[in-house]
Amino acid sequence: MTQLFQYEDDREVSSAAKVRALEALLIEKGVIGSDSVDAVLQHFETVAGPFNGAKIVARAWVDPAFKQRLVEDTPKAIAELDLSAGMAGAEGEHMAAVANGDGVHNLIICTLCSCYPWPVLGLPPYWYKDPVFRARGVREPRAVLREFGVEVPAETAVKVWDSSAQIRWFVVPERPANTDRLSEQELAALVTPESMMGVALVASPAAA
């Protein structure tokens, strides 16, 4: 993350500490059990998370027909993959994918709240919910992307997509160079949540 958003790292650490303290207090008071917390954590570690999004992106990279279906009818295309358990819940409904390429770079924000497709991107980072990021993402997306290290050429259009409870967007980033010989599983390992939000590019294996 770039220096502009560096202060969010400290706030995210502080927020995580508060969450742990609250969790410990709720367990101590008997409001929740440690087994409930473990079940939630295990769900996001093994069932719903950015590994699902990475599988979707990798399939789109190796199968142009699937990619076309994905951007035309995202839920229907995702249903073709064995991800049904991870797609359950409100956060997995009404998803839509947009693809980078052909002179277009996509950026995902949520101006009103923090709507986020958890099943494919995992838990949202703190800075995604910050009013500064949300406001500037609309007003000056190129500047925001530059501060994240993504320099978008002048001839490339930047499209900003606003997630909501009615539709939750994610990005199919461009496939990096020098990956022709990689398997679908190896390609999925290159995909990051940030690239599926549009604030990062997928690095080629050599660069990584």
State the Cα–Cα distance between residues 30 and 96, nearest whole angstrom. Answer: 40
Q: What pTM, to 2 d.p., does this model score?
A: 0.78
* pLDDT per position as a tens digit, 2-52: 445 444 455 444 545 544 554 454 455 554 555 544 444 454 545 558 999
Assign domain 3-197 to its CATH superfamily.
Nitrile hydratase alpha /Thiocyanate hydrolase gamma (3.90.330.10)
Nearest to 57 by CA among 206, 207, 179, 208: 179
What tokens does 165 get?
């409870």
Q: How far apart are CA 110 and CA 154, in angstroms?
A: 25
Residue 84 marked in a binding site:
no
Query: Is 110 known to sit in a ligand binding site?
Result: yes
> Is 114 flagged in the annotation as binding?
yes
Please report, for the chain, the start and end positions of each structural domain, with discontinuous segments joined by +.
Answer: 3-197
pLDDT tens, residue by residue, 72-113: 999 999 989 977 544 555 455 688 999 999 899 999 999 887
- Report the Cα–Cα distance between both ends of the chain, in Å, rounded: 16
Query: Is 36 among the residues known to form the active site?
Result: no
Q: Which two tokens stand for residue 205?
A: 């294996």
Q: Round to whole Å and give the CA distance between 55 and 39.
A: 23
The confidence score (pLDDT) of residue 87 equals: 56
Q: Out of 15, 113, 183, 204, pick the active-site residue.
A: 113
